[in-house]
Structure 1
Amino acid sequence: MPAGPASSGSPALSRRLILLLAVACGVAVANIYFPQAVSPLIADDLKASPQSAAVVVSCAQLGYAAGIFLLVPLGDRLRHRGLVTTLMLVTSAGLVLAAEARDLAVLAVASALVGLTTVVPQILIPMAAGLTGPERRGAVTGTLLSGLIGGILLARTFSGTLGEWWGWRAPYLIAAALALVLALALATTLPATTPATDQRYPALLRASLDLLRTEPQLRRSCQYQMLVFAAFSAAWTALALYITGPRYGLGTPAVGVLALVGAASMFATPLAGRLTDRGGPDSVNLMCMTGAVGAGALLLTGRLGGAVGLVGLGAGMLLLDVAMQSGQVANQARIFALRPQARARLNTAYMTCAFLGGSAGSWLGVRAYSAFGWNGVCALVALLAGLALLRHVLRDRTTAATPAPPPAPEPAGR
């Protein structure tokens, strides 16, 4: 692949490289999600309450949000090959540290460190978008997001099963080995790219904030994803507590089995990408938000218990997964079209907001479950998704009455 900036019209990425990038996205993002399935095991081993152990999940997501804000802008400033390889190596070291933790405080700090450096997907996705023509950008983004979704969903199966067999530390050690292998693979296969900007680091950080302030389409996409991702995180964090609790009394592998049901959402994101390419992101957003509200209602069937309840939980989580991930395809297609030379900075603002929402959702999900049980979690999911849907409907009315503003100038500092 010849060197060139993301907007230079470089040849399309090969299918083999797109597949590797999708796998890398999945393995990296799994580090944020696999603790959800083993948090009950962590609580037992470290003599903590299940609610306290769930803080590990929130710390990983907060670290991820911080990494997106602090490190992803470097995707516009540095060559992708060296940046991605370094981050994967540090992630591997952080996972080993987490595996060796002997108390909850050390594990929480290690989880935040892993979250901070495992932001590789948010660097690879804008890079791939920049090396792809606009007529295929949605489809390629959807393919990489399919890998990312696979990582999110299979992470819970992987960690829940391994944790039950060999303890909660085993998933961390295996994840560290996978990160190391991928670091070596990406070091030899990533295309040579030229930085898109020569801005100094403080200016890069300010640029993301400036884009959030000046780009209404970016703000709208951030609001959508913050709310829907908060609903998603609330449901998954509380689910591990619910099905390992007295109603079902199942082990952590059951969380992984439900995650496997959600793996069908991997096939939805390429379709969402094609629909976005053809009809624009707004119609896809509308379908996804409506689906997320419906998922909150469907998850209530988990109160029935037994096989019927598990089927309802699986169906509800699948619908919520599809809604969240497909909505992300639409949102990222919208923001990547705004400024070709600032895709990493646009993605920084967007994903920082998204994971702040996800971290808040994890915290709210545990609190809702502790105070109101599973009914409270389902109501929270429906409320958050409903707020996103209301924002979208109000936006449609406002747009119909108000002409679109002219594009804001490129942030200064090149």
Structure 2
Amino acid sequence: MALAAALGTSTLYALQPAMADVAESLSSQVTAVGIALAGGPAGYMAGLAVLVPLVDRFAPSRVLAGQFAVLAVALAASAAAGGVVMLGALTAVTGACSAVGAGLSSVAGRLAPVPRRATVLGIVTAGISAGILAGRIAGGWLTDEIGWRATLLVFAAACAVVAAGCLLLVPPTRSATDLRYGETLRSLPGLFVRYAVLRLAAIRGALWFFAFCTLWSGLAVVLSQPPYSYSAERIGLYALAGVSGIFATQIAGAWTDRAGARRVILLGLAVAGTAAVLIGWSLTSTAATLVCLVLFDAGLFAAQVSNQSTVLAIDPTAPARFNSAYMVVYFIGGSLGTAFGAVAVAQLGWAATTAIIAAAIGAAATLSR
């Protein structure tokens, strides 16, 4: 499940380091390609709302296999796109199905024994975290080696393999919920009104995912311009620093089961906030930048596991609709951060951008006390 979540999530980020290459290939502007790729996050939010609740209503193995199959087709079609409009439409479909990671975490949370729920969630969330980072790394490296179209075909082939794997390995057991699919979708907005735990978790999660995406999108802009002028591959390799977050999620999950979510969230946010402040002045030193990125990603990923475990615990027998509602708000914050990062760097500079990132993390910590 963790490996499948990593692959599904990574498809959303594969072309991010290669925007300049895509623009040149399609004889378009980089800004136009950026707008087209923004269809991915928009589709992802739709997938969170519409597709994730399906795993409670129908056999998870078939639902997840179907999403990976559509991912494979959409990625292969994107590789043949002849213009940014077609690429944007197919990217939206890819984004919707890349929400499969949230479906996998919902299934894992439902099947896990109560004393180890956060630990199990940490393992699957580690896969999602790995996908966010590996998508950029693999996308940048493969684009430089074989081109962006062949890169998408590689991702498509992997999704086809995992689709078959879901049918064979994911338990087909449905949840015990009596809600029909349409009733589940209509109930999502009301969950925020009824459950304060969900409301607070979603707001603080959106704040720190805004901070996370602002930093990474802004960093890509800074490093692609003078005095750095790094290639897509080199920019993608900076994401290797975030691999620490994969280990942080597993440790955070086990610690949450023992010490409670609040302590883990506050510690993670304290580490990430400090790193955000320091990275505003560290880009001239590659080593210092990498250390800051390690601490930043590890802190936020640890907070995410603990925060999400409180959401899945609201109704352990049918957690997908709560996870769906949470992730929609969470990803709205991330989408705003992705768009804001590039603009903020251009208008305010890197140091001011990182100060805003630290402020968003501080606001999330305030809601965790």
TM norm. shorter chain > 0.5: yes
Q: Does 1:236 align with 2:180?
A: no
In the alignment, which residue of structure 1 is the partner of 2:207? Answer: 227
User: What are the superposed Cα offsets for residues 251-276 of structure 1, whole Å, 9 maximum, x if unpaired?
Assistant: 11112221112212211111101111
What does 1:268-307 align with in structure 2 at a 5 Å threshold? 268-304=248-284
Which entry has the higher C-alpha Rg, 1 or 2? Answer: 1
Distance 2:267 2:32 in 1: 36
How far off is 1:313 after superposition? 2.6
> What's the % identity of the aligned pairs?
31
Match of 1:131 in 2: 111
- 1:193-249 deviation digits (Å, cap 9, x = unpaired): 034324232211122222122111111110111011111111111222221211211
Indicate how the Cα distance of structure 1 residues 318 and 249 shifts in structure 2: closer, same or farther if over 3 A, else same: same
Q: Count matched residues.
A: 369
Paired residue type of 1:338: I
Runs of 5+ unmatched residues, structure 1: 1-20, 397-414
Counterpart of 2:308 (choices 312, 323, 332) is 332
Corresponding residue number in structure 2 for 1:341: 317
Conserved in 1, the CA contact under 8 Å of 2:244 and 2:297?
A: no
Distance 1:30 1:192 in 2: 24
1:138-177 pair list within 5 angstroms: 138-177=118-157
| C-alpha distance in 2 between matches for 1:238 and 1:53 | 17
Q: Which residue of 1 aligns with 2:33?
A: 53
Counterparts of 2:256 and 2:217, CA distance in 1: 30
Give 1:45 shift: 2.7
Work out whether residues 243 and 254 of structure 1, in 8 Å CA contact, stay in contact via their aligned partners in 2. no
Deviations 1:19-62 (A, max 9, x none): xx110010000012222222232233334444443334432112
Contact 1:50–1:241 (CA<8 Å) still a contact in 2?
no
Please list every run of 5 or more consecutive structure 2 residues that lacks an aligned counterpart in the other structure: none
2:242 equivalent in structure 1: 262
Greater shift in the superposed pair: 190-199 or 89-98: 190-199
Equivalent position of 2:76 in the other structure: 96
Query: In structure 1, what is the Cα distance between the partners aligned to 2:81 and 2:282?
Result: 34
1-side partners of 2:318 and 2:172: how far apart? 18
Amino acid at match of 1:355: F
2:330 aligned partner: 354
CA shift in 2, pair 1:52/1:374, >3 Å = farther
1:377 aligned to 342, 353, 358, which one? 353
- What stretches of structure 1 move > 4 A for 4+ residues in a row? none
Q: Name the TM-score, length of structure 1 as normaliser.
A: 0.85
Residues in 2 aligned to 1:51 and 1:380: alpha-carbon distance in whole angstroms: 24
Give the partner amino acid of 1:213. Answer: V
Instruction: Name the TM-score, length of structure 2 as normaliser.
Output: 0.95
Tell me the equivalent position of 2:95. 115
Q: Within 5 Å, which residues of 2 pair with 1:392-407?
A: 392=368, 396=369
CA distance 1:183–1:168, shift in 2 (3 Å): same
